[in-house]
Amino acid sequence: MAETLSYDNTPDTSVLSEEEQNSLEVGQALREEQDQLLAGKYKSAADLEKAYVELQAKLNRVLGLEGAAPTSTAADTPVMEEAPAPVAPREAAAAPAPAAPAPEVASDDDDDESLEFFKKLAQD
């Protein structure tokens, strides 16, 4: 007669030490707390939107679009349940980004040639 063997490979959680059990409880509490946050960081939709508007203003400043108005503000937009999708500024979308020059492949590992390449990139 053939015997059928079975093996239960689920870990036995009753064998956890006190330190491991404490670590598990702390980890589960942190996970539950993070699950309640929006984007893993913000406690409310208003906080998330405020951070989004600030980030968009920084992007506009870096892109040289200082006069561009933000697309929305917390006062103009009702509180949403989900995070807003990113919106690209119209001026930035209309202008194509300049293509970066292809890196030159040096035949030897001379540091001066590498330095010249990076100087050219900085000038562009």
pTM of the model: 0.33
* Residue 14: band (very low, low, confident or very high) from pLDDT cuts 50, 70, 90: low
Give residue 1's pLDDT: 66
- The answer on pLDDT for 69 being more than 60 is no
Give residue 55's pLDDT: 93
Please report, for the chain, the start and end positions of each structural domain, with discontinuous segments joined by +. 45-94
Give residue 23's pLDDT: 92
- The answer on pLDDT for 54 being more than 70 is yes
The angle subtended at Cα 14 by Cα 11 and Cα 16, nearest 5°, is 85
Q: Which of 20, 81, 4, 86 has its CA nearest to residue 53?
A: 86
Report which of residues 117 and 20 the model is more confident about. Answer: 20
- The answer on pLDDT for 56 being more than 90 is yes
- Find the mean pLDDT for residues 25-52: 86
- Find the mean pLDDT for residues 7-28: 83
